[in-house]
Copies of this chain bind each other. A is one copy, B any other.
Amino acid sequence: MRIASIDVEGVRRFGRVDGESFVPLAVGQDPLSLLDATVALQWDAPVPFSATGPLHPPLPVTSLRDFITFEQHTAGSLRAVTGKDEVPEAWFEAPAFYFTNPHAAIGSGQDVPMPPGSEVFDFELEVAVVIGRDGYNLSVEEAWEHIGGYTIFNDWSARDLQQREMRVGLGPAKGKDTATTIGPVIVTPDELAASRDGDRLSLDMEVSINGHRIGGDSLANMAWSFAELISYASRGTWVRRGDILGSGTSGGGCLAEFWGWSGAQVPTPLTVGDEVSMTVEGIGTVSNRIVAGPPMHEVPAARRVKWSQPPLP
């Protein structure tokens, strides 16, 4: 099944895509039940579907985790920040991730506002796995049964804001707050069975700006499988139906990696009017155009207070 969400007669609907038709789920059913093959679903009459959108994220967003699992991306992006492409040993030990803003999720064809205060704007080409049913502290083997689908994930990134956040050592948060594109559809695993290569998915990924190809990779180059990411995410806690876990940026999947290799901001950062398109084999294409952002409201610097080392308890 290919799950999508569009406006039908002015109302946001969730449903499945059948060729050039969109079949809406009948009103009153939980859209997340589209991920549950055991639920008997009721459908409304099909309407025409345009893959170029505008689309909403295919399902309501519960939580977003984003990993970093492509070694080439990690090496190049670190080089852009530190001048060296040595990946720290901690990176290889376990699949690192952060939680990101669930309120910034958008679909293909929706506008991306420039983040206030940012002048170094970038994209990130990823594939995300969508959790199909709740799980707690799953083994890798168990985790496979909790995969509900796959989707394209563009983690829009304000590199200047992100870099300041990384000096404090939390997040990134404001560096990733303006938008995350999810779509165009969520594809259930059976549709990608022919692309399984062991525990990886061998899918071509590529990204272009204004129709000019920037780079790409194979999803098979992830340093961990999606089941391994889910097991790690669920260690000692819950993953819930509808949770989205990004693969991390592919090789050649963002401008910052190229800035690492070129030693300069070449290609130039994104600006208003640019359209970024990402295509992943078997899933489809997402495209978004950058528009001017809202005004910047100042927040003052820290107010200093007197403090002293407390007595030991």
B-binding residues in A (CB < 8 A): 62-63, 65, 68-69, 71-72, 75-76, 88, 90-104, 113, 115-117, 136-140, 164-174, 177-178, 212-215, 221, 223-224, 228, 231-232, 235-240, 251-252, 257-258, 261-262, 266-267, 293-297, 299-305, 307-310, 312-313
Contacts and interface: CB of A to CB of B under 8 A. Distances in A.
A138, A167, A212 interface centre (most CB from chain B within 10 Å): A167
A166 to B, nearest CB: 5
Contacts of A172: 170
B71 A302 contact: yes
Contacts of A310: 72, 215, 251-252, 257-258, 261
Nearest to A179: B237
A125 to B, nearest CB: 12
A96 to B, nearest CB: 4
- Tell me the number of copies of this protein: 2
B115 A236 contact: yes
Contact of A169 (B169, B224, B267): B169
Given A304-B71, A307-B251, A267 B313 contact: yes
A238 to B, nearest CB: 4
A118 to B, nearest CB: 8
Nearest to A134: B103
A103, A113, A117 interface centre (most CB from chain B within 10 Å): A103
B103 A237 contact: yes
Contacts of A168: 68, 88, 90-91, 96
A139 to B, nearest CB: 4
A140 B297 contact: yes
Nearest to A200: B303
Nearest to A67: B170
B164 A93 contact: yes
A116 B296 CA distance: 42
A99 B98 CA distance: 8
Given A164-B94, A221-B305, A312-B261, A297 B63 contact: no
A296 B235 CA distance: 7
Nearest to A227: B299
Contacts of A308: 72
Given A63-B102, A88-B167, A116-B235, 12 more contacts: A63-B63, A91-B302, A98-B98, A103-B238, A113-B236, A139-B297, A177-B237, A215-B310, A223-B302, A251-B307, A258-B313, A261-B309
